[in-house]
């Protein structure tokens, strides 16, 4: 049986989709076996703040993949800021969950 061919549409994400992208990012860590207790309870708020900062300071762009109008994935990219991100994130905003480190 042959599956119907579907078209994947890749587009730049809208600002109102930051929460969706943050949820995808969270799921990435969970899919990679980072224990839920190792992720800060305010991960959504912190991730959205990070996305906003990265958009303003690091030329962050996010992209959404859709099939038949349904979001099936997302990706984001930014300029490398040249610093040790683990140490910098810890110093600035305590983004421990990005590295999957416990608080």
- Tell me what pLDDT residue 101 has: 32
Handedness of CA 9, 6, 70, 51 (dihedral sign): negative
Instruction: Assign 1 to helix, strand or coil.
Output: coil
- Tell me what pLDDT residue 83 has: 59
Backbone angles phi, psi at 70, to 5 degrees: -105, 130
Q: In a structure prediction context, what are the per-residue pLDDT tens digits for the chain, which is 103 residues long?
A: 887 788 899 999 999 999 999 999 999 999 999 999 999 999 999 999 999 999 998 889 999 999 988 999 999 988 876 655 555 554 443 333 333 333 3
Which one, of 74, 97, 71, lies nearest residue 24 by Cα?
Answer: 74
CA dist 15 and 17 (Å) reads 5
């Amino acid at each position: 049986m042959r599956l119907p061919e579907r078209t994947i549409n890749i587009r730049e994400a809208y600002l109102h989709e930051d929460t969706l992208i943050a949820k995808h990012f969270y799921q990435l860590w969970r899919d990679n076996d980072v224990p839920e207790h190792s992720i800060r309870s305010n991960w959504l708020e912190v991730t959205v703040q990070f996305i906003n900062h990265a958009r303003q300071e690091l030329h962050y762009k996010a992209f959404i993949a859709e099939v038949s109008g349904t979001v099936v994935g997302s990706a984001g990219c930014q300029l490398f800021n040249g610093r040790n991100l683990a140490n910098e994130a810890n110093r600035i905003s305590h983004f421990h969950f990005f590295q999957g480190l416990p608080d």
